[in-house]
Amino acid sequence: MSMLDVTGLNAHYGDSHILFDVALRVDRNEVVALLGRNGAGKSTMLKSLMGVVKPSSGSILFDGEQIAGRKSHTIARAGMQLVHEDRRIFGSLNVEENLVLAGLTAKGRWPLDRVYEIFPRLKERRTSRGTDLSGGEQQMLAIGRALVRDPKIILLDEPFEGLAPVIVQDLVRTCRELAMAGQTIILVEQNIAAALTLATRAYIINNGHIAHEGPTGEIRAQPELLQRYLGV
Amino acid sequence: MVNWANFISQCFNGLVLGALLALISSGLTIIYGTLGVLNLAHGAMFMLGGYAGWVAYTYSGSFLVAVAAGSLFVMLVGIVVERLIIRHFYTRPHEDQLLVTFGLSIVFVEAVRFFFGSLSKMVPPPGPLVGITPLGFMMYPTYRLALLGIVAVALLALYFVLYRTRIGMIVRAGIEDSVMVDSLGIDVYKIFMLVFGIGAMAAGFAGIVNAPVVSIAPDVGEAILVQTFVVVVIGGVGSFPGAILGGLIAGQIISITSMFNPGYAYIMLFVAMTLVLVLRPYGLLGAAGRE
């Protein structure tokens, strides 16, 4: 059975229809990339899975459980975590409080030291307020905040965006280690090179429709696909 | 020519009023910050606290019982109102939220008028706090001095809950980004209910502890509501420290202006608010970028 099985998913923002009958499947321990231009519906897709945007119709089976239309906290407790594009760190809370807060309702909560092992920088900055962190540190904290909950699946929305190349390298390595350890991930990323090396399979989403689906090796071998749908 | 004894005494009055406004405003500001609902019934909560306390006082003869009853009753009212009515308005436009809370305040005021009449009620201060205390340079009503301490303790308690407890941590996070709190597996709607209850309780507590100073009447919350809004705007919406600073500033403005001409107290208050809005649109201690 798949970890995540989405069928016929539709989503709207107000009057505008964003996702059209989207189908998507993610297996356990798999890293899947979601590629597409700006405004193609990638973020909306992740938000609909997390319940931040309420899907207008469709089915989302998560580890055998129907979660479409549920509230975010229920979905989080079922084991899903979304790392938002804008990170959404609590600026008035310090690093440690952000992590503690995230773990409060988690069943298999990680000890904070396990997060600090992955991101030693966060340990150094654990008493700094969220507003005082650099972009890279905020991203580490956003990912750490998801990991604390020991989620079955992590949805990463543009985790490398706007960061210095050195930091991106570090984060890519961290993500690869997580994947090797068996973490199931959906990755939305404009940095296509990074996305294609991390993921084993990818979906290309265009104007709210799934335009293509296949192993990343196959997509890399078809530059015309990337040219047509991503403009690269 | 300014009479200095009078001036200092007015400053003290301003401090007491300011502390009281700070307490009521912190209730309003955490409600708005967390739930995104501007609660126009907040003044009515202040009034209800006074009446619930007065009823308890009439039966028990104890000021302490009156304070406990006033605060707890209003907290309960807050929780029930949030569960039955407010929660249906979280996704509705702000106009609807304003209308429903304004409607609630009318219902509360008229219900009190119906049961207790329009004549004002008095709750006397507890025995040891009756009378006047010499401060050396002036004589000052003992209860008003005590009130300053009482409100300071209440503000400290609120500070403790907000900044030193798990629940407070969740509330502070919720003030910033309630959607993210929900995404971390915390049922934010339960937090909303709690915040509404605590926010209402702050107003209710203020309503009863202020009753020995200003007698209570059904419409006593209206003026308070206006002043509280100004305080929240001056301090910064959603900011607890802002509510305290704004409260103290507003207290002094009202009190000192009243010494010269009470008619100008509100004008000066709104002048101050306008100045803040021009110079620091998010309030003195508010965070930029809030919706």
ipTM, 2 decimals? 0.94
To the nearest whole percent, how much of chain B has pLDDT over 70?
Answer: 98
The pLDDT value given to residue A27? 96
Interchain contact, B180 vs A84, CB within 8 Å? yes
B169 alpha-carbon distance from chain centroid: 22
Give 10-residue mean pLDDT values along chain A (232 residues).
94 92 96 92 96 96 95 96 95 95 94 96 96 95 97 96 92 95 95 90 94 92 86 73
What's the Cα-to-Cα distance from A215 to each of A135, A205, A229, rounded to whole Å? Answer: 31, 15, 16
Digit-coded pLDDT (tens) for B34-88: 888 999 999 999 999 999 999 999 999 999 999 999 999 999 999 999 999 999 9
Q: Structural domain tally of chain A?
A: 1
Where in the sequence is the domain holding A20, given as residue range(s)?
A: 4-230
Chain B positions in Cβ-Cβ contact with residue A51 (cut-off 8 Å): 183
Chain A positions in Cβ-Cβ contact with residue B183 (cut-off 8 Å): 50-52, 72-73, 76, 81-82
Number of A/B CB contacts below 8 angstroms equals 65
Strand, coil or helix: what is B282?
Answer: coil
The pLDDT value given to residue B7? 87
Instruction: Please tell me the pTM assigned to this model.
Output: 0.89
Q: Nearest CA of chain B to the CA of A89: how many Å?
A: 9
Helix, strand, coil shares of chain A, percent, nearest 5, are: 40, 25, 35
Instruction: Using a CB–CB cutoff of 8 Å, tell me whether A78 touches chain B.
Output: no
Exposed (0-12), middle (13-18) or buried (19+): which is A192, by Cβ within 10 Å? middle
Mean pLDDT value across residues B15-19:
95
Q: What is the rounded distance in angstroms from the CA atom of residue A180 to the CA atom of residue A2?
A: 18
pLDDT exceeds cutoff 90 at B173: yes
CATH code of A34's domain: 3.40.50.300
Question: How many other C-beta atoms are found inside a 10 Å radius of the C-beta of residue B94?
Answer: 11
What's the Cα-to-Cα distance from A2 to each of A44, A51, A67, A73, B40, rounded to whole Å? Answer: 21, 19, 14, 22, 50
Interchain contact, B184 vs A50, CB within 8 Å? no
Structural domain boundaries of chain B? 9-220
Chain B positions in Cβ-Cβ contact with residue A101 (cut-off 8 Å): 169-170, 173, 181, 184, 186
Paired residues of B132 in beta bridges: B141
Strand, coil or helix: what is A33?
Answer: strand
Interchain contact, A101 vs B169, CB within 8 Å? yes
Instruction: Using a CB–CB cutoff of 8 Å, tell me whether A3 touches chain B.
Output: no
Token match 């509100």: residue? B266
The pLDDT value given to residue A190? 87
The pLDDT value given to residue B291? 42
Phi, psi of A68 (to 5 degrees): -60, 130
Chain B positions in Cβ-Cβ contact with residue A142 (cut-off 8 Å): none
**What is the rounded end-to-end Cα distance, in angstroms, of chain B?**
47
Q: Which of residues 137-176 of A touch B (CB under 8 A)?
A: 145, 149
Chain B positions in Cβ-Cβ contact with residue A104 (cut-off 8 Å): 166, 170, 184-186
Q: Most distant CA pair in chain B: distance in Å?
A: 63
Residue B135 binned pLDDT confidence (cut-offs 50, 70, 90): confident
Pairing of strands A57-62, A31-35: unpaired
Digit-coded pLDDT (tens) for B105-130: 999 999 999 999 999 999 999 988 88
pLDDT exceeds cutoff 70 at B153: yes
The pLDDT value given to residue B109? 97
The pLDDT value given to residue B288? 62
Residue B1 binned pLDDT confidence (cut-offs 50, 70, 90): low
